[in-house]
Amino acid sequence: MTQKQNRNSSLFFLTITALMTALVYVFTAFINIKLPIAANGGLIHLGNVPLFIGAILFGRRVGAISGGIGMALFDLLSGWTVWAPFTLVTVGLMGYVVGLICERKNKFGWYIVAIVAACAIKIVGYYIAEAVIYQNLVAPFASIPGNIVQIGCAAAVVLVVIVPLRKAANKIIPSYAV
């Protein structure tokens, strides 16, 4: 790879990652419903939609960085500050795993597997977070249904739009999409 190609590739990565991070933040902050259940109330949002799209189309690095930073930024700016470190790690890992699976297996069925894996990571990650924050091993179970609904809503949207988005990405930027 020439120096110019490498620079263009780095610029593209930075641009896509910044865009996806902003979308994760916006979809988390402005497209959400606060739940009156569980120990902390909970939140259903669509921030996982751009997270999954970015990870599926552009891979594990974009998924991990944009997901972790985008949602942790939401936590920091919206009064959920204590959650930010847990979100950074849990959602970063979700994006990494979705991207990793989709880099290796670029078929629709594997997108479903990747999202199911992300759901498992979310449930375990936020169970641990709640157990640490509330110092209680029982209360976090109340958050599991909300986590499943949140990932399920995102999956419904992503699985409808991902095939056309992949086709468009491959036409516009064939050498960059996973």
Determine phi and psi for 174, rounding to 5 degrees.
-60, -30
Tally the residues of the chain: 178
Number of neighbouring beta carbons within 10 Å of residue 98: 32
User: Which range is most confident: 21-25, 28-32, 41-45, 143-147?
Assistant: 21-25
Q: pLDDT (tens digit, 9 = 90+) per residue, 97-131? A: 999 999 999 999 999 999 999 999 999 999 999 99
Domains and CATH numbers, the chain: 14-30+41-172 (1.10.1760.20)
Q: Which two tokens stand for residue 153?
A: 């809503």
Q: What is the pTM of this model?
A: 0.90
